[in-house]
Amino acid sequence: MKTLTVSVVTPDGPVLEDQYEMVSCKAESGELGILPGHIPLVAPLAISAVRLKKDNKTEKIAVSGGFLEVRPDKVTVLAQAAEKPSDIDVERARKAKERAERRLQAKQDDIDFKRAELALKRALNRLDVAQSE
Amino acid sequence: MASLRDIKGRINSTKKTMQITKAMEMVSASKLNRAEQNAKAFVPYMEKMQEVVASIASGNTGVEHPMLKARPVKKTGYIVITSDRGLAGAYNSNVLRKVYQTIQERHQSTDEYTVIAIGKVGREFFKKRNMPVAKEIIGLADQPNFADIQTIASETVEMYASEEIDELYLYYNHFVSAISQVVTEKKLLPLTDINPEGQKQTSYEYEPDEEAILKVLLPQYAESLIYGALLDGKASEHAARMTAMKNATDNASEMIDTLTLSYNRARQASITQEISEIVSGAAALE
């Protein structure tokens, strides 16, 4: 089976670099599945889980936005924050979720609302990925 | 001449100071090590980012984004990176002097610029001179991570996007080596100096299109430039503090040497005096 190199990098350093058979992720315009030999592509990612397939096993990485760069033999995920399930601080994510929910309830001006919404999405994504482990 | 006790006291206090400066030197040396590692971990992210930005910016000329286009400047933003604590030699004063001079040269009134202060020393400096400080962050860790700075970075980029400021400069100490740090001025926004030279070009497909990608990419790029400068600044801070403390330790040991010399002299003098007193006392008895 052909594989491609996947590396996930954040400003705090590389999170992961390994060989996988397939990458599927949620871009802002919809689901994307990438197999080896894909044409060069750049796409912004939604706050979601990037799924990496190898030997019938799927690994998940929680990604907070950022984007995806594809070359025929290599996929790079550039995100401001990305975590493996084992690295996720569940307690912190839960707190962030509660905080964001409270802010959404309070309904302040637009910017705060948007920010709280994004924070909630990130927290839910982290919790989701952590629980799938 | 100072009394023996006085000199002894000074020697002791200098020794204590030397212990402290020596400890601080070693602490800074290990922090510098960590800071260099952090800066190194950041490199792959930045390189990749630059590669993609450059290939989009150079590939198709049809793309437009407010961050790529210079507009008439009504207000300028200055991000100034300083430390929270002193005892780092000329680290802070170098940056602050440079910013202060630049602002004095370029602007007539305080309406024309605003400062985003990272670090306590910078904040105090500008507040004291009644210069506008739009945003500030203090108490950053010695080994900051991206989350620490993300809010202020994205708010600053947002200030540009909402046309609150029309250009943005970044001032920090660039880390050259453990003994040399250079004050650097960098024009952050608009992003006019993305040069794709020397990079291998790939023609990408864009999903959904260039403009949607630029909307995500450019703010992220600008934010990571700020973070990169902060990492660089932190490495410089530790290096500057290490050098300053090394100098202080050297000076202290020199001072102890001189003091010990004058202590011995004073002791010898008092012994000589005593002997001559005894001798003259004995001579008087004869």
Interface test with A, best of B150, B216, B226, B234 (most A CBs within 10 A): B216
Q: How far is B105 from chain A (nearest CA, A)?
A: 35
Domain identity same for A36 and A77: yes
CATH no. for residue B155? Answer: 3.40.1380.10
- B270 belongs to a structural domain: no
Residue A42 Cα, gap to closest chain B Cα (Å): 5
Q: How far is CA B22 from CA B11, B225, B234, B236, in A?
A: 16, 34, 20, 19
B192-231 residues touching A, CB cutoff 8 A: 202-208, 212-213, 215-217, 220, 223-224, 227-228
SS3 B69: coil
Say if A71 is an interface residue toward chain B (CB within 8 Å): yes
Least confident range from A34-38, B98-102, B147-151: namely B147-151
Q: In angstroms, rounded to a whole number, what is the distance separating the alpha carbons of residues B92 and A28?
A: 43
Alpha helices in chain B (DSSP H): 4-59, 91-106, 120-128, 146-161, 210-285
For B162-174, what is each residue's pLDDT tens digit?
888 888 999 999 9
> Does any CB of chain B come closer than 8 Å to the CB of residue A11?
yes
The yes-or-no verdict on residue B195 having pLDDT over 90 is no
- ipTM field: 0.79
| pLDDT tens track for B205-263 | 887 777 788 888 888 888 888 999 999 999 999 999 999 999 999 999 999 999 999 99
Residue B185 lies in a domain: yes
**Residue A72 is part of which domain span?**
4-85
pTM summary value: 0.84
Number of domains forming the structure of chain B: 1
pLDDT digits (tens, 9 = 90+) for A76-130: 999 988 888 888 888 888 888 888 888 888 766 666 777 788 888 888 888 888 8
Position B49 pLDDT exceeds 90: no
**Residue to substitute from B47, B201, B204, B215, interface A, most A β-carbons within 10 A:** B204
Same domain, A76 and A46: yes
Count CB pairs under 8 A between chains A and B. Answer: 84
- Read off the CATH number of the domain in which A96 is found: 1.20.5.440
Residue B121 C-alpha, separation from nearest chain A C-alpha, in angstroms: 26
| CATH number of residue A67's parent domain | 2.60.15.10
Q: Looking at the structure, do residues A27 and A73 belong to the same domain, yes or no?
A: yes
Residue B100 lies in a domain: yes
Residue B236 half-sphere exposure toward CB, CA atoms < 13 A: 26
Count how many domains chain A has. Answer: 2
Between residues B132 and A116, the one the model is more confident about? B132
Local confidence band at B201 (pLDDT 50, 70, 90 cut-offs): low
Q: Give the closest residue to B227 by CA, choosing from B143, B286, B146.
A: B146
All residues of chain B having their beta carbon less than 8 Å from the beta carbon of residue A43 are: 206-208, 213
Residues A100 and A44 reside in one and the same domain: no
Are both A11 and A72 inside the same structural domain?
A: yes
* Per-residue pLDDT tens digits for A50-79: 999 988 888 889 998 888 889 888 899 999
Whether B49 has its CB under 8 Å from any CB of chain A: the answer is yes
Indicate whether B81 belongs to any domain: yes
CB spacing of A28 vs B146 below 8 angstroms: no
Q: Band of the pLDDT at B153, cuts 50, 70, 90?
A: confident
Kindly state whether residues A9 and A45 are assigned to the same domain.
yes
Does residue B178 fall inside a structural domain? Answer: yes
Distance CA A30, CA A47 (A): 12
Contact B146 A10 (CB under 8 A): yes
How many CB atoms sit inside 10 A of residue B82's CB? 29
Using CB atoms, pick whichever of A7, A11, A43 lies closest to residue B227.
A11
- A74 and A13 in a common domain: yes
Give A 79-98 residues with CB within 8 A of chain B. 80-81
Residues facing B186 on adjacent strands: B170
Distances (CA, A) of A53 to A61, A62, B88, B112: 11, 15, 50, 54
- Domain ranges, residue B144: 25-243
Looking at the fold, whether A103 and A126 belong to one and the same domain comes out as: yes
Q: Are residues A9 and A63 in the same domain?
A: yes
Chain B interface includes A42 (CB < 8 A): yes
- Flag whether residue B65 sits within 8 Å of chain A, measured between CB atoms: no
Whether A26 and A66 map to the same domain: the answer is: yes
Based on the fold, state whether residues A80 and A93 are members of the same structural domain.
Answer: no
- The predicted pLDDT at position B199 comes to 52
- Strand pairing report for A41-44 and A67-71: antiparallel
Contact A67 B45 (CB under 8 A): no
Q: Does B80 map to a domain?
A: yes
